[in-house]
Structure 1
Amino acid sequence: MESTQGEESSLTTVYHASCWVDSVKTLLYDALRTNASTQVVVVGAGIAGLSTAYCLSKAGYDVIVLEDKNVGSGETGRTTAHLTNALDDRYFEIENLFGEETARLVADSHTTAIKFIEDTVTEENIACDFKRVNGYLFLHPTDKIKTLEDELAATRRAGIDTSLTRDTPCFPKYGGPCLRFTGQAQFHPLKYIEGLAKAITRFGGKIFTSTHVTRIVKEGVEANGFFVKADHVVVATNTPINDMVTMHTKQFAYRTYVIAARIPKDVLPHSLWWDTGDQQSPWQTKPYHYIRTQPFDNDYDLLICGGEDHKTGQAAKENIPEEDRYTILEYWARERFPFIHSIAYRWSGQVMEPLDFLGFIGKNPNDENIYIVTGDSGNGMTHGTIAGMLISDLIKGKHNRWQKIYDPARVNLRKTGDYLKEVGSMAAQYLDYLLPGDITSIQDLRPNDGAIVRSGVKKLAVYKDVQGRIHAFSATCPHLGCNVRWNKDEQSFDCPCHGSRFSAMGKVINGPALEDLKPVEVPLAELLK
């Protein structure tokens, strides 16, 4: 049974709502309250999970979708919803690593995903502001024109319609030359997946929300204390929650930040813009800025601008707290768009960055009937749609031309240097056990704030609520034992090793952890020392 409620749902962010979340009613279904049996169980009701469930239920398969919170409450509700075959990573880099044929298949997969969304919007009559637009890749100040020239040649070899232009449209002061991508698109992500959800149930599929999965095995899934027996299990949870180690050594979690600013109606054409990334960044991903517009009300459009990324839980590496990154982003945007009126929204999201540029879609390594989708590298909307097509083909026993390039079991030894740097960054976080806490006494903590404090040889994640009550938890992430860090912006405790996140009250809100932080009973007098 479907319902739409707002206050009862908790999101994977606990503090900021995106413009997408704020513009639709929360879509909830009944929670799982009994054992069940099905052909396919899908864990996660974001674009990847619902695209997979849509393709399979449409083909006549019995499908059950399980969602921890509400439909779209994960990263699909945190995206900026660019639909593009212009990837976060350069095609010439993909060519160098995998060859021209793989680059062509990658381009084909994302181009096909945009067309799939367009066709589905028409077929299911989904009002989600879908619109074909141009995209423009322009130079970051630290980058050189050779990047655009190399990408022009590589994208053309990959079959993408691109051209090099002298100026970047709508960037009169800071633009310069750019690479134009035709045939891109944008949409409202939550309106789209609501349409998918309604189609799934019309085809006979079942969706359960407020249903927390605690165990995934080849026989099925345990959730809310019940078991769903299934022939096939699909884990579509941004980062896999069925795997403790393997996949988490192939990708790394990053936080990315977004502002949505009011701008005069129709002052900018609907387009997508991206810069080539900060070549001097301490992060392997070379964070970049990304921009688009979205209709808002009778007087304003929204200018949606994102960037200022850092590894989850490691903002301190640049000495820029999470909450200050919106200010930097706003300054960057106002320099380039002086007609910004005011900031309407701000939020952050979590991006899984694969080591070798390509996402992971297919059978989980060493499993025959468990499938995963992860490593979207900032192209989550098309990547999740590719997953729907690819995983449904695998379950049907049908060959898919993309299955080899996205195989989760692949190993790429040519990225060993980058791998060692990322793993070194992760391993260094375990040294946190030897360091002092954020504060020496709980007396230093203000209401509605959190911190990591030392209690003897252990560290505690401590939160003081608005009434001044103290809530203490073990700071050890239940995934692989790294100490979490306080994220003041999102009012959450974040793991700097693999990206698990927990609310101020210790509740898990992002995998790969499946369990909450362990509550700790500590005498108040000890915390006040």
Structure 2
Amino acid sequence: MDNKSNHSLKSSSITSGDNVSFWIDSTQIISCNKPNQDIETEVLIIGGGIAGLTTAYKLLKAGKKVVLVEDGFIGSGETGRTTAHLTCALDDRYYFLEKIFGENSATLAAESHSKAIDEIEKIVTELNIDCSFKRVNGYLFLHPTDKEENLDKEFHVTQKAGLKTCILKSVPGLANAENQRCLAFANQAQFHILHYLKGLTEAITSLGGIIYTEAHAEDITKKGAKVNGYMFSAQHIVVATNSPVNDVLTMHTKQHAYRTYVIAGKIPKGQLPYALWWDTGDQKSKWVSQPYHYVRLENYDDKYDLLISGGEDHKTGQADEDGISATERYDRLEAWTRDYFPMLEDDLTYRWSGQVMEPVDSLGFMGKNPGDKNIYIITGDSGNGMTHATIGAMIICDSITGIKNKYEDLYNPSRITLKIAVDFAKEIGNMASQYVDWVTTSDLKNTADLPAGEGGVISSGLKRIAVYRDYDNSLKAFSAVCPHLGCIINWNADEKSFDCPCHGSRFSTDGSVINGPAQIDLHKIHIKQKTHSYMQKEKPF
């Protein structure tokens, strides 16, 4: 089924964007009750993606009393927009990790991601979850801008780190790549992420855990949080919201939000092996993250598999910084995919984008939030969100139950990595430069120029106003100032959202927050439709 034709069924209210992923489209909405009273519990978990649900499940098995709250529905955040690779082949090279953290830490990183895959497989088995989990091989091959010697260097470091890797003279399944060597990773895996979350949700409730959906958490402190106006008190608080919503600035200097794009189309069954493919990324990219391509198969029906291909990343809210629109990014991704996988059928079945948090030193942040004794975070998923989130659940479950986890120091959110000062400076400089939007003129000159289903930012004196014209031709207006730290938001025409280019907060067309770190909605503004002039609803900017 084409995701656009199913849009009325799977609207943006159940996923963080206008485009619908295959996972969302092929799974019934996973919903629970809304909050209706104050709650007191041992552990409050905020976030209903893979990080929050895995943490809840493990803590319940350890005998803890757990309540989980999710702003939307289960998996409606970034977990439902992944491509669900389960891999210890990290998107930053092991030779880089060894240089930054040392040989022992690179080994721990490899071991932890391998253990995370094992943990997911264990949960699938013990709960008998029907989520198409399978072990597959992964193949890393060079981007045209990368050097052959780097593939050999990665091979040697992965061997030292204890991974089962080997160099192949060609890439299995890849067309138009004669004499293209690759680094093969054994014992990787894949699954249907939303079906996995469905199984976890059922297990959590059967173990006595309580899950609330459509439950917005704010005012997060060491005592708990306010959820839909009710007080949820807890001894331990876990913030598993992709980007921490309890932190004003500290973590947002250590990681930065990127948009990544995905296409999916049918191929006849048997044309390709189930496997994971990645290139090594554009070494000449203006972006610190050096975007790469990533591909896998998923079962679709009796006749077809679904080829899922991603890449073409850019900083959130900065799609036009390198002169490439979202539409063109999908086109470039499709062209790249068809070159290597020509069996892809003519009409694409899905396209969507997602948001990843890229830590400047390449490893996620999982553990106690800096400065807090009982607030924990899971963030910095980079391109390995499924395994990073699972590692985070393992670390935090151990921490809350008084066990020293062997990986907790490596992923400690309070760590400072001095060897990445150049990349850190580039990202901070990029973030700071976005505040120039306060003094530059906006692209949208008049709301009369705005077609239905589109938005933009318009200047009104010194004010910046976000406007969106609905399909009934009504006009909605909000302050264009992100309530997190005052950056000017930008219109995302692809996912129909307003995105903050500084720290990655995102807002729907009705102004409601759909991605942190912002906790509150955009400030609404009353407008006079006929004259397109603006009046404040409440206080001035």
Normalising to structure 1: TM-score of the pair? Answer: 0.97
CA deviation string 1:312-351 (max 9, x = no partner)? 0001111111232111111111112121112100000000
Q: In the alignment, is residue 101 of structure 1 matched against residue 104 of structure 2?
A: yes
Q: In the alignment, is residue 425 of structure 1 matched against residue 427 of structure 2?
A: no
**1:240 paired residue number:** 244
Residue 475 of structure 1: CA displacement? 0.3
**1:208 paired residue number:** 212
CA distance in 1 between counterparts of 2:434 and 2:254 reads 17
**2:184 paired residue number:** 180
CA deviation string 1:344-369 (max 9, x = no partner)? 00000000000101100000001000
State the AA in 2 paired with 1:297.
D
CA deviation string 1:32-81 (max 9, x = no partner)? 11001111010001000001000000111100000001011111100000
Distance 1:343 1:6, change over 3 A: closer
**2:392 paired residue number:** 387
**Is the Cα–Cα contact under 8 Å of residues 28 and 71 in structure 1 kept in the other structure?**
yes
**Is the Cα–Cα contact under 8 Å of residues 463 and 470 in structure 1 kept in the other structure?**
yes
CA deviation string 1:277-327 (max 9, x = no partner)? 001111001100000000101221100000000000001111111232111
Root-mean-square deviation (CA, aligned residues, Å) is 1.4
Residue 199 of structure 1: CA displacement? 0.8
Distance 1:280 1:131, change over 3 A: same
TM alignment of 1:49-448, pairs within 5 A: 49-174=52-177, 176-341=180-345, 342-448=347-453
**Is the Cα–Cα contact under 8 Å of residues 455 and 527 in structure 1 kept in the other structure?**
no
CA distance in 1 between counterparts of 2:10 and 2:278 reads 35
Q: In the alignment, is residue 494 of structure 1 matched against residue 517 of structure 2?
A: no
Distance 1:8 1:273, change over 3 A: closer
CA deviation string 1:385-433 (max 9, x = no partner)? 1111110000001010000000000011111111111010010000011
Runs of 5+ unmatched residues, structure 2: 1-7, 535-541
Q: In the alignment, is residue 513 of structure 1 matched against residue 488 of structure 2?
A: no
**Is the Cα–Cα contact under 8 Å of residues 14 and 490 in structure 1 kept in the other structure?**
yes
Residue 12 of structure 1: CA displacement? 4.1
**Is the Cα–Cα contact under 8 Å of residues 527 and 533 in structure 2 kept in the other structure?**
no
Residue 472 of structure 1: CA displacement? 0.7
CA distance in 1 between counterparts of 2:90 and 2:44 reads 30
Residue 13 of structure 1: CA displacement? 2.5
**Is the Cα–Cα contact under 8 Å of residues 254 and 360 in structure 2 kept in the other structure?**
yes
Runs of 5+ unmatched residues, structure 1: none
**Is the Cα–Cα contact under 8 Å of residues 60 and 203 in structure 1 kept in the other structure?**
no
**Is the Cα–Cα contact under 8 Å of residues 478 and 517 in structure 1 kept in the other structure?**
yes
CA distance in 2 between counterparts of 1:528 and 1:265 reads 57
Residue 6 of structure 1: CA displacement? 6.2
Distance 1:8 1:165, change over 3 A: closer
CA distance in 2 between counterparts of 1:447 and 1:350 reads 26
State the AA in 2 paired with 1:398.
I
Q: In the alignment, is residue 10 of structure 1 matched against residue 13 of structure 2?
A: yes
CA distance in 2 between counterparts of 1:266 and 1:61 reads 46
State the AA in 2 paired with 1:93.
F
CA distance in 2 between counterparts of 1:42 and 1:148 reads 40
- Greater shift, 221-230 or 172-181, is seen at 172-181
State the AA in 2 paired with 1:145.
E
CA distance in 2 between counterparts of 1:521 and 1:433 reads 21
CA distance in 2 between counterparts of 1:94 and 1:256 reads 23
**Is the Cα–Cα contact under 8 Å of residues 443 and 528 in structure 1 kept in the other structure?**
no
**Is the Cα–Cα contact under 8 Å of residues 12 and 18 in structure 2 kept in the other structure?**
no
CA distance in 2 between counterparts of 1:265 and 1:123 reads 29
Distance 1:234 1:378, change over 3 A: same
CA deviation string 1:160-191 (max 9, x = no partner)? 01001111111131360000000000000011
State the AA in 2 paired with 1:168.
V
Aligned with 1:292: secondary structure? strand
Residue 221 of structure 1: CA displacement? 1.4
Of residues 443, 454, 464, the one that matches 1:459 is 464
CA distance in 2 between counterparts of 1:8 and 1:139 reads 38
Aligned with 2:321: secondary structure? helix
State the AA in 2 paired with 1:310.
H
Residue 227 of structure 1: CA displacement? 0.8
Aligned with 2:237: secondary structure? strand
CA distance in 2 between counterparts of 1:21 and 1:331 reads 25
State the AA in 1 paired with 2:204.
I
**Is the Cα–Cα contact under 8 Å of residues 49 and 78 in structure 2 kept in the other structure?**
yes
State the AA in 2 paired with 1:502.
F
CA distance in 2 between counterparts of 1:260 and 1:406 reads 33
Normalising to structure 2: TM-score of the pair? Answer: 0.95
**Is the Cα–Cα contact under 8 Å of residues 441 and 528 in structure 1 kept in the other structure?**
no
State the AA in 1 paired with 2:437.
D
CA deviation string 1:182-229 (max 9, x = no partner)? 000000001111111111111111100010001111011111000111
Aligned with 1:315: secondary structure? coil
Of residues 32, 41, 45, the one that matches 2:44 is 41
State the AA in 1 paired with 2:313.
D
Aligned with 1:236: secondary structure? strand
Distance 1:7 1:491, change over 3 A: closer
State the AA in 1 paired with 2:373.
E
Aligned with 2:14: secondary structure? coil
Residue 523 of structure 1: CA displacement? 3.6
Aligned with 1:401: secondary structure? coil
